[in-house]
Structure 1
Amino acid sequence: MTADRATGQAGMLPDAVYQRLIELILSNELPPDSRVNLYQVARQLDVSPTPVREALSRLDDDGLVVKSPLKGYRTTPVLDVKELDDLFDLRLLLEPVAAQKAAENGSSEALETLVEEAGAFPRAPAGDDAADYASFCRHDGQLHALIAQASGNTAIARSLARTHFHLHAFRLGYEESAGQATLDEHVRIAAAVARRDADGAADAMRAHLLASRERLLPLARRP
């Protein structure tokens, strides 16, 4: 990655480095539970250590890396079966309610933005391009965040944001068929919310979460 690619626009370097590190983690170029050499990463990205240090601090907040005194940063392990199941239990409690309330309370502007986001990825990424994969992960997280925000329930929105679920789930693996099923389910949820079908939105969200859990649990069980 060249300095030009990392910089993009003046002042955008830290965000670009942060996104690039997410790509490296999601693609396992920085494997789970392994040491992150700050200076080696800086050389790889052709940037100074400062934006890498800032990005690692943000990733620590996301739970993708952890800093140990005198030892630097390590990537965290991937979710195990119980951790994944626990997070889905939480989501099943919160997100159908969020979808229901978004349909009831969301502003026209919020629902329009949600529908636009649901249509932003007409096809799931194919192949193993880390940037496409990370972009799809961001879309997944953004769509769920928009629903939570449209619900008007800040406690739900904050609780879901703190889990960083989508970043952690995508580390388990990716299959194009599963990605396309996710997109199709997103469209159904967004359509129900947009037509203000509160019960339909809650049911569509619940069905999506149950299907997602079934897709991800086999990946979490792999040795």
Structure 2
Amino acid sequence: MQPARRITLTDDVYAAVQTLIMDHEVEPGARINIDALARRLAVSPTPVREALARLESDGLVSKRPLVGYTATPLLTRAEFEDLVEMRLILEPTAAAKAAGAGLDEAEVAALRAKADLPAGPGEIAAFTAQDARFHHSLAALSGNRMLHDAVVRLRAHLHLFRLHFPTAHYGVSASEHHRVVDAVCAGDPDAAAAAMRAHLTAARDRHLPFFESR
């Protein structure tokens, strides 16, 4: 086992580099200099390499022979539509299965707590992380491990909120989450699937102006 301090350092560096990429301080497509990044974060190159390996699995960086790591480009319009299509296939089904699973009070309370989202400027990272927790937790409550794994592997939140962060998300997304939870609590699979579908479609529409302005 690794010492706890080493694990914490690796996690901290991972979070720091992820934030730099999400905030475009490391520009999409830019080459990543490991030594320079280590100096900036005041750490050795080793945790930076470990962080980049994790971020490669997230799809935020890519590694090329003789070049090293680069930040991946932003989604194209076609890739964005493909991602939304995949979510519309997976997540309404997950919501419906969770609604039919007969969740206990503790599970419902935990899910409802995750439905709430930070609602203010400067909280993009916290919003993105909490939004992911809600969707991933709901998929876990479906009882289908492969469905949950597929939702998590999409890394949808990392890619979507890297495009831009529509201010229209504040307040609205949490309300949409709670409508999904209400349907899940009522044990209504059809309503839960419909609420999730409506949420994903509305989120898609909030991101579309990014592509229209490019």
TM > 0.5: yes
Q: CA deviation at 1:80?
A: 0.8
Q: CA deviation at 1:48?
A: 1.1
Q: CA deviation at 1:96?
A: 0.9
Unaligned runs of 5+ in 2: none
- Deviations for 1:94-129, whole angstroms, at most 9, x for unmatched residues? 11111011011153243222111113x3x4231xx3
1:8-87 correspondence to structure 2 within 5 Å: 10=5, 11-87=7-83
Amino acid at match of 1:116: A
Q: What is the alpha-carbon distance in structure 2 between the residues aligned to residue 88 and residue 67 of structure 1?
A: 26
Match of residue 105, structure 1, among 101, 108, 121: 101
Match of residue 139, structure 1, among 97, 106, 130: 130
Q: CA deviation at 1:186?
A: 1.1
Match of residue 116, structure 1, among 100, 113, 116: 113
- Deviations for 1:27-84, whole angstroms, at most 9, x for unmatched residues? 1101111111111111111111111110000000010000111211000001111111
Q: What is the alpha-carbon distance in structure 2 between the residues aligned to residue 100 and residue 24 of structure 1?
A: 36
Match of residue 198, structure 2, among 207, 213, 220: 207
Indicate if the aligned counterparts of 2:168 and 2:206 stay in contact, CA closer than 8 A: no
> Runs ≥4 in structure 1, deviation > 4 angstroms?
none
Match of residue 167, structure 1, among 145, 158, 163: 158
**SS of alignment partner, residue 176 of structure 1:** coil
Amino acid at match of 1:158: D
Which piece of structure 1 moves more, 157-166 or 176-185?
A: 176-185
Query: Which residue is equivalent to 1:5?
Result: none
Q: What is the alpha-carbon distance in structure 1 between the residues aligned to residue 146 and residue 207 of structure 2?
A: 26
**SS of alignment partner, residue 157 of structure 1:** helix
Q: What is the alpha-carbon distance in structure 2 between the residues aligned to residue 72 and residue 36 of structure 1?
A: 7
Q: Cα–Cα, structure 1 residues 88 and 209, in superposed 2: closer, same or farther, change >3 Å?
A: same
TM-score by length of 2: 0.92
Amino acid at match of 1:199: D
Query: Which residue is equivalent to 2:211?
Result: 220
Q: What is the alpha-carbon distance in structure 2 between the residues aligned to residue 221 and residue 19 of structure 1?
A: 31
Question: Aligned-pair RMSD on alpha carbons?
Answer: 1.5
Identity %: 43
Does residue 148 of structure 1 match 2:139?
Answer: yes
Q: What is the alpha-carbon distance in structure 1 between the residues aligned to residue 212 and residue 18 of structure 2?
A: 23
Q: Cα–Cα, structure 1 residues 217 and 196, in superposed 2: closer, same or farther, change >3 Å?
A: same
Query: Which residue is equivalent to 1:181?
Result: 172
Q: What is the alpha-carbon distance in structure 2 between the residues aligned to residue 195 and residue 111 of structure 1?
A: 11
- Deviations for 1:162-218, whole angstroms, at most 9, x for unmatched residues? 111110000110133223211221122122212322222111101001101111122
Q: How many residues align?
A: 209
Q: What is the alpha-carbon distance in structure 2 between the residues aligned to residue 135 and residue 13 of structure 1?
A: 20
Query: Which residue is equivalent to 1:125?
Result: 120
Unaligned runs of 5+ in 1: 1-8
